[in-house]
Every structure is written in structure tokens, then in C-alpha cells.
Amino acid sequence: MTITTSPAALAGATPAGAVALDRYPPLARPDLTYTHEVAEATAPIYEKLKHIIPAIEWPALAPTIHAINVLKKERNAVILAHNYMTPDIYHGVADIVGDSLQLAIEATRTDADVIVQCGVHFMAETSKILSPDKTVLIPDMKAGCSLAESITGADVRALRERNPGIPIITYVNTSADVKAECDICCTSSNALQVVESFGVDRVFLIPDKYLAANVGNKTDVEVLVWDGACEVHERFTAQELRDYRKIEPNVQIIAHPECPPEVVAEADFAGSTAHMIDWVKTNKPEKVMMITECSMADNVASETPGVDYIRPCNLCPHMKRITLSKILDSLLYMKEEVVVDPVIAEKARVAVQRMIDLKK
């Protein structure tokens, strides 16, 4: 896993995780007692969480949630939470929620000095690429991603050497180092648009072989793949979906395009996390099954009353490294800082910006 792309940090001059403490002095550890004040301050948050967190568990969570919400103001920090964060983070402390690119773009629009990225490492790098002047923290530097770890910048350079002239598109789930070597970035929402934007017969779409295959099924462009996969979505099978339909004949099944093509073919709709959420809000199905990471359904449920969620799902162990107590420590001790070499960041920013401009 790429821990940092800063040569200074790699050389040991700026240890990963250290933020200059003269800029951000350490703060006193808050008292985490469930007081009347904490109960009152967190009551509106519990309203959004009561469908998923039993009342008996709330006194154990509320003091940390309250402390984070106080501390983030003191630090002038904004907390970004990916759709796969647990509900206590998603509804309890996040200022902005969404998919990784939505989060990074929204963060550029805030005047916060500090970004706390509740997600995995490549997402924090993307935030740093788009907000180079902000301090970007990740509560657990080990929060990686099987897709991002499947390819390096050197792999992309070798791919280009072997296949001159073929555009290389990178899914946003890659390190800054990889983005810096690619022509343009894409998300699962706009991958088809990006593939067709070149007006050529063949493109590489790396590193997710399933996303590339799913996009390839919708276009005449030949989409060449890299052998990477999301360890969460590749575990779903088409047979599993057929079995669920037998038990729940009226269920609507919606799948993420990181799933294998035969799983996507079995689903009623396939789209990015943001599109899945929109689809449920627009269509309001009686029963729905989200073929993706477990926390998605938990997070959307409170915003879609009347929809019954059937919950087969797979957990992402990397996303689940981010916890409330680590977020609290992140703000208290200003750790762990995500740094990206400015030269790499500038090249990666070009790839991301090309996609944003295309979207417009």
C-alpha cells in the first residue's frame, strides 16, 4: 500500500503522520461522560440513527460524537465521509457525505484549514490533490484498497511503452502516482462518457477489470483492462442474486459496477454509489437489495422511509478501519497527515481536472 508519495517523508525528514505542532497545538483530551448536555446536543443526531443503533448503545457513542463535533470547529476542520462509512460517522460527525470524487470536489469549496478524510488512502490523496493548501488527515493510514494497490505508476509507464498511442483512463480508485501517469480520470458514474470522449477504437480503463468489462458491454469502443478488482464487489455471484429473488420475488436488486458483469446482468439497475442512492430515492421501491458494501443501506435507510432493505452485503475491511475514536485522535493530535509530492500532485490534478471539465 502507498503510505505516502512525499519524497521528504520517505527519506525520513518529515515522518508520515506528523503535522507541525506550532501550527496546530495539541488540545486537552475531552471528558467522554454521557452528561445531560451531551444527551441534549446529540438528540437530533440520534433521531437519524435510531433505526440502526439501539437506545441502550447511544450513551457509549454520543460523548465521542459530541467531542468530535466540538473539536472540528476548534480546528476549523471539515469531515468528509464516504458512503461506506458506518452510520455513527456518516450521520454523526460528517459535514460532507458522498462518493470519493464528490467529497474531494465539495471540500475545495469550504474555507476549512483541515480535511479529515473518513475513507481510504487514495481518497485522502485525491482531496490533497484538489486542495493542496489544506492539511489532509486520515484517521488510519493503513486504510487501503485492493483496487488502488493492484497497480503502480511504474506499471502504467510500462503499459504505455508497450501500447503507444492508446489512451489510458484511470478509475478514481488509484494512488496519486498512478493518476499522474494517466491521460484522464473517471468515476463509475461517468466511465462510459470518458471512454467515448476520445473518439478512438481502443482505450485502457484501469485498474478494475469488472468496471472496464461492464463499460465495454455498453459501447463499441474496445475497452482494454488491467487485472485489478475490488475485493468487496467481486465476491458477489449471479447465482446468489437468483437465489435471493426466489426468496424475495418482489425485490429490486441494484448493483455497483465494480461487481462482475454476470452480477450486473442479473440486477435491475447498476450504478455508482451516488446513482444507487438517487435510484432508491426516486423509485421508492417497496423492497430493495443493494449489492455493495454493507454500510450503504444502513446510511440511506433513514433518508428513505417506507423502503424495506434486504441486506446481503460484503464489508470492506479497509473502510472499517475508520472509527469514531480514531477520528477523535486525528483531530486531537493532528494525525495522520497525507502528503503528496507537489510534482506528482500537479500531474494527477490535470487528469482529475480533465474529467471534471468533461462533466461540465
- Which residue, 173 or 175, has its beta carbon nearer to ligand SF4? 173
Query: Has 171 been labeled as part of a binding site?
Result: yes
Residues forming a β-bridge with 254: 269, 290
DSSP secondary structure letter of residue 261:
H
Query: Has 299 been labeled as part of a binding site?
Result: no
Could you give the angle at which helices 100-108 and 121-130 cross, rounded to 10 degrees? Answer: 30
Which residues neighbour 139 within 8 Å (Cβ) at sequence distance 6 or greater?
116, 118, 321, 322, 323, 326, 327, 329, 330, 336
Asked if 191 and 184 count as a contact pair (C-beta separation under 8 A), the reply is: no
Query: Has 337 been labeled as part of a binding site?
Result: no
Query: Has 24 been labeled as part of a binding site?
Result: no
140 vs 146: CA distance, rounded Å: 16
Among candidates 333, 339, 327, 340, which has minimal Cα distance to 140?
327
**What is the distance in angstroms between the CA of the first residue and the CA of the last residue of the chain?**
33
Query: Has 173 been labeled as part of a binding site?
Result: yes
**The residue to which cell 440511506 is assigned:** 300
Q: How far is the CB of 38 from ligand SF4 (least distance, A)?
A: 32
Query: Has 283 been labeled as part of a binding site?
Result: no
- Which residue, 71 or 138, has its beta carbon nearer to ligand SF4? 138
Asked if 124 and 338 count as a contact pair (C-beta separation under 8 A), the reply is: yes
The torsion angles phi and psi of 313, rounded to 5 degrees, stand at -165, 165
- Which residue, 147 or 169, has its beta carbon nearer to ligand SF4? 147
- Which residue, 160 or 320, has its beta carbon nearer to ligand SF4? 320
Q: How far is the CB of 275 from ligand SF4 (least distance, A)?
A: 16
- Which residue, 231 or 329, has its beta carbon nearer to ligand SF4? 231
Q: How far is the CB of 119 from ligand SF4 (least distance, A)?
A: 8
C-alpha cell at 35: 452528561
Q: How far are the Cα atoms of 53, 107, 278 from residue 35, in angstroms, in the given order?
A: 19, 33, 38
Asked if 252 and 288 count as a contact pair (C-beta separation under 8 A), the reply is: yes
Query: Has 259 been labeled as part of a binding site?
Result: no
Within the chain, what is the greatest distance between any pair of CA atoms?
A: 66
- Which residue, 154 or 315, has its beta carbon nearer to ligand SF4? 315
Query: Has 100 been labeled as part of a binding site?
Result: yes
Q: How far is the CB of 63 from ligand SF4 (least distance, A)?
A: 29
Query: Has 66 been labeled as part of a binding site?
Result: no
Q: How far is the CB of 188 from ligand SF4 (least distance, A)?
A: 10
Q: How far is the CB of 120 from ligand SF4 (least distance, A)?
A: 5
Q: Go through 2-11 and write b for each residue having 16 or more CB atoms within 10 A of its CB, e for each that does not.
A: bbbbbeebee
Q: How far is the CB of 84 from ligand SF4 (least distance, A)?
A: 6
C-alpha cell at 338: 497525507
- Which residue, 62 or 194, has its beta carbon nearer to ligand SF4? 194
- Which residue, 58 or 210, has its beta carbon nearer to ligand SF4? 210
Query: Has 145 been labeled as part of a binding site?
Result: yes
Q: How far is the CB of 316 from ligand SF4 (least distance, A)?
A: 3
Q: Go through 65-77 and write b for each residue having 16 or more CB atoms within 10 A of its CB, e for each that does not.
A: bbbbbebbeebeb
Instruction: Enumerate binding residues for ligand SF4 (CB under 6 A).
Output: 120, 145-147, 173, 230-232, 293, 316, 318-319
What are the binding residues for iminosuccinate?
82, 100, 171-173, 188, 256-258, 273
Q: Which residues are annotated as a binding site for [4Fe-4S] cluster?
A: 145, 230, 316
Binding residues: 82, 100, 145, 171-173, 188, 230, 256-258, 273, 316
